[in-house]
C-alpha cells in the first residue's frame, strides 16, 4: 500500500473526535436557532434531531426539554442583539463631536447590518408564539436605545436634560418611530423576502434625515404643551415564567409547543 493510500485509509477509519460537552451544547443551540427560524417552534424533535445531526436522546441529555432548547436558542440569538445595543447605543449617540444625523446614521447602519435572517425570523416567531423575548426586548430598548436617542434629540433642540425633565411618553413614541422603520427593513429582507440592495446605508440615511426633520419640531411641541398624560413611567419587565410572556395568551386553536 502506498503512503498516500495508507493516509487515505487512515482518514476513513480514524474515529471522529468527540466534542467537549459545552462545545457540543453550543453547537446544538446555534443549529437549533437556524432550524426554528426556518421551520417554527412546532417542528418535531425528530426533524430537529435530523437537522442537528444527533439523536433525540442526545438532545434530552443536554436540554431538559424541547422548550428549554428553544429558550436557549432565543437567548443566544436575540440576547446578542440586546447586548450589542447596550454596548453601542449610549456611547455612539452621546458623542457630541459628531453631528446628530451622522450619529444616528452610524448607529442604525450597524443595527440594520446585524439583522440576520435567523434573528429576524426568530424574533417574529417568538412574538407570534407568545414567548417573552419580544416583550423583554421591548422593555430593554427604552434604556439602551430610546433614552440615548431622546437625550441627543433634546440636546439638538435645546431642551432640558432628563434629570430636570422626566422622559415623556410622546418622546418615546418619537424614538420608537425611527427604530421601527429600521426593524422593518430587516423584516422586508428576511421575512417578506423582498428585493433589497446589498447595502442599506443610503436608505438608513434617508430615514434618519426625514425623521429628524419632523422629530425636532415635534419634541419641542411636546415640551411646550407639557401634557401630564405623556409622562412615561420606567418600564420594568414583569416576572414571567421562562420563555412565556406575562399574561400572553396562546392563539385560539394553537397549542403550546410540546416535547414531541
Q: How many angstroms separate the CA atoms of 63 and 42, rounded?
A: 17
pLDDT in the model for residue 16: 53
pLDDT at residue 5 is higher than 60: no
pLDDT, tens digit, for every residue of 118-149?
A: 999 998 998 888 887 767 776 678 888 899 99
Position 259 confidence tier, pLDDT thresholds 50, 70, 90: very low
Q: Are 120 and 71 in contact (CB under 8 A)?
A: no
pLDDT at residue 200 is higher than 70: yes
What is the average pLDDT value for the chain, to the nearest integer? 81
pLDDT at residue 260 is higher than 50: no
Q: Give Cα separations from 171 to 96, 188, 221, 231, 237 (angstroms).
A: 20, 26, 10, 9, 20
pLDDT at residue 24 is higher than 80: yes
pLDDT, tens digit, for every residue of 47-96?
A: 999 999 999 999 999 999 999 999 999 988 887 655 544 455 667 788 88
pLDDT at residue 242 is higher than 50: no
pLDDT at residue 236 is higher than 80: no
Q: Are 137 and 207 in contact (CB under 8 A)?
A: no
pLDDT at residue 225 is higher than 90: no
Q: How many angstroms separate the CA atoms of 69 and 31, rounded?
A: 11
Q: How many angstroms separate the CA atoms of 159 and 150, rounded?
A: 10
Cβ contacts of residue 177 below 8 Å, gap of 6+?
Answer: 211, 215
Q: Class assignment of domain 65-230? A: mainly alpha
pLDDT in the model for residue 44: 93
Cβ contacts of residue 141 below 8 Å, gap of 6+?
Answer: 85, 176, 179
pLDDT in the model for residue 138: 67
pLDDT in the model for residue 137: 72
pTM for the model: 0.74
pLDDT at residue 26 is higher than 70: yes
pLDDT in the model for residue 93: 82
The three three-digit cell numbers of residue 122, written as one number:
426568530
* pLDDT average, residue stretch 169-195: 94
pLDDT in the model for residue 254: 41
Q: How many angstroms separate the CA atoms of 218 and 87, rounded?
A: 28
Give alpha helix (H) positions in the chain.
3-13, 21-39, 45-52, 56-62, 66-94, 100-113, 117-128, 133-141, 147-157, 169-190, 201-225
Q: Give Cα separations from 82 to 39, 77, 136, 171, 214 (angstroms).
A: 24, 9, 10, 21, 28
Q: How many angstroms separate the CA atoms of 81 and 83, rounded?
A: 6
Q: Are 32 and 77 in contact (CB under 8 A)?
A: no
Q: Closest Cα to residue 63, out of 78, 51, 50, 45?
A: 45
Looking at per-residue pLDDT, the higher value among 234 and 203 belongs to 203
Share of the chain above pLDDT 90, in %: 53
Amino acid at each position: 500500500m502506498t503512503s498516500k493510500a495508507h493516509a487515505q485509509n487512515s482518514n476513513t477509519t480514524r474515529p471522529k473526535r468527540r466534542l467537549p460537552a459545552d462545545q457540543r451544547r453550543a453547537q446544538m443551540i446555534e443549529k437549533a436557532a437556524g432550524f426554528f427560524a426556518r421551520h417554527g417552534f412546532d417542528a418535531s424533535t425528530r426533524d430537529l434531531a435530523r437537522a442537528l445531526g444527533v439523536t433525540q436522546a442526545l438532545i434530552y441529555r443536554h436540554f431538559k426539554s424541547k422548550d428549554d432548547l428553544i429558550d436557549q436558542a432565543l437567548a443566544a440569538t436575540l440576547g446578542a442583539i440586546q447586548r450589542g445595543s447596550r454596548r453601542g447605543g449610549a456611547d455612539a449617540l452621546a458623542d457630541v463631536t459628531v453631528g446628530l444625523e451622522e450619529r444616528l446614521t452610524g448607529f442604525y447602519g450597524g443595527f440594520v447590518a446585524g439583522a440576520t435572517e435567523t434573528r429576524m425570523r426568530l424574533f417574529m416567531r417568538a412574538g407570534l408564539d407568545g414567548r417573552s423575548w419580544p416583550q423583554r426586548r421591548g422593555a430593554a430598548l427604552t434604556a439602551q436605545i430610546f433614552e440615548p436617542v431622546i437625550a441627543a434629540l433634546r440636546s439638538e433642540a435645546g431642551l432640558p436634560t432628563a434629570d430636570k425633565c422626566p422622559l415623556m411618553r410622546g418622546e418615546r413614541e418619537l424614538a420608537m418611530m425611527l427604530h421601527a422603520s429600521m426593524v422593518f427593513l430587516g423584516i422586508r429582507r428576511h421575512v417578506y423576502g423582498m428585493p433589497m440592495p446589498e447595502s442599506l446605508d443610503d436608505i438608513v440615511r434617508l430615514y434618519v434625515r426625514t425623521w429628524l426633520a419632523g422629530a425636532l419640531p415635534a419634541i419641542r411641541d411636546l415640551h411646550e404643551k407639557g401634557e401630564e398624560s405623556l409622562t412615561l413611567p420606567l418600564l420594568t419587565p414583569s416576572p414571567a415564567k421562562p420563555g412565556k410572556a406575562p399574561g400572553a395568551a396562546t392563539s385560539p386553536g394553537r397549542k403550546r409547543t410540546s416535547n414531541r
